[in-house]
Amino acid sequence: MRRFFITISIIILLSASPAASDNHPKWCQCPSEPILRRTVEPAYHPILYQLQRYWASLSLYPAIPNGRFDQTMENAVIDFQKKHRLPPSGILDEPTWEKIGAVPAETEIGFSNTQPSGSIDVLVDLDALTLTVLCDRVPFKTFPVAIGTKETPSPAGSWQIVHKGYWAKGKTHWLGLSVPFGSYGIHGTNQPWTIGTRASNGCIRMYNHHLEEVYRWLKPGTRVFIVGDPFRDHRHLKRGMTGSDVYYLQIRLKQLGSYHRKPTGHFDYWTEIALKESQRKLGLPETGELSPKEYYRFKLYWTD
């Protein structure tokens, strides 16, 4: 079994009250949905393919998904718009995307009438793909979420909510986190088929109606524990990269006496110099980059 040295750091963070970041996040870096319409020679679009598969599972798309905005897709969009009292333009515009994101709410019975009381924290499990609201450290309610991809992983660690507002110009509410190495937060999505997958640029996505429910309970200062192995994706770390794996590497380099700055999660010049120094101490090639094969030597994990 593989165990992770860095887990010790995470436990320390979980037991502490994290300070808000000086670079508090304002807006999520996740892209908005494109405005799409039928064209004479429709080209393949990945988001269309995903939407067609999702609609097919709901019996809203009658053909084999092909990722193209053809006549069949236009008819499906018009039928959806009519059903939800939108202008039947056949165009995937902003109001239509917003309704697509809101559809799951219609299959559930509104918000919970029970309100959490006591001390509220949030626990995001990167392995289970869930967000749990804790009340006095006891699970109160759990929701499915989408997390970051391998290339843009979600930030493991202990953070705070530092901003409440709107994401993408008012589309959904936004809970900004005190992550020091980028703009990360919890927000809704108009791509409900991504929930339960690794799909975001690092933010935590929720169904829009779930986000609206938890938004009422959380406030600036609420602790958010994002639990998971920051090195799970075995990224080859080098200058220019950003993420929680870089953040915890800097912590480790600090423990080894090579890094003398505040960890930022940004692999900069000083991180490269510190890594080279530690590689020299460990008898490794001084590349200034960290390959997954070197994780063990830096005690970022060990095996039984």
User: How would you class 34 by CB atoms within 10 Å of its CB: exposed for 0-12, middle for 13-18, buried for 19 or more?
Assistant: exposed
Q: Are 2 and 144 in contact (CB under 8 A)?
A: no
Q: What is the DSSP letter of 271?
A: H
Rounded distance between C-alpha atoms, residue 200 and residue 212, angstroms: 19
Which of the 8 DSSP states describes residue 68?
B
**Any catalytic annotation for residue 203?**
yes
**256-292 burial: b if 16+ Cβ within 10 Å, else e:** bebbeeebbbbbbebbbebbbbbbeeeebeeebbbee
The predicted structure's pLDDT at residue 31: 63
pLDDT, residue 61, reads 94
Do residues 130 and 237 make contact, with C-beta atoms less than 8 angstroms apart?
A: no
For residue 57, what is the enclosing H or E element?
helix 46-57
Q: Which two tokens stand for residue 220?
A: 């600036």
What CATH number belongs to 2-30+116-227?
A: 2.40.440.10
Q: How many residues does the chain have?
A: 304
- Report how far residue 149's alpha carbon sits from residue 55's, in angstroms, rounded to the nearest whole number: 23
Q: What is the DSSP letter of 143?
A: E
For the chain, give every domain's residue range. Answer: 2-30+116-227, 46-107, 244-303
> Of 28, 30, 173, 187, which one is the catalytic site residue?
187
Which pLDDT does position 30 carry in this prediction? 61
Radius of gyration of the chain (CA): 22
The pLDDT of residue 262 is: 94
Are the CB atoms for 193 and 47 separated by under 8 Å? Answer: no
In a 3-state reduction of DSSP, which class is residue 172?
A: strand
| Residue numbers in the chain where pLDDT is lower than 70 | 1-31, 103-113, 167-171, 302-304
Long-range pairs, 294-301, Cβ under 8 A, ≥24: 295/231, 295/234, 298/249, 298/252, 298/256, 299/5, 299/252, 300/4, 300/5, 300/6, 300/231, 300/248, 300/249, 300/252, 301/2, 301/3, 301/4, 301/5, 301/6, 301/229, 301/231
Candidate list 163, 173, 203, 210, residue with the active-site label: 203
Helix, strand, coil % over all residues of the chain, rounded to 5: 30, 20, 50
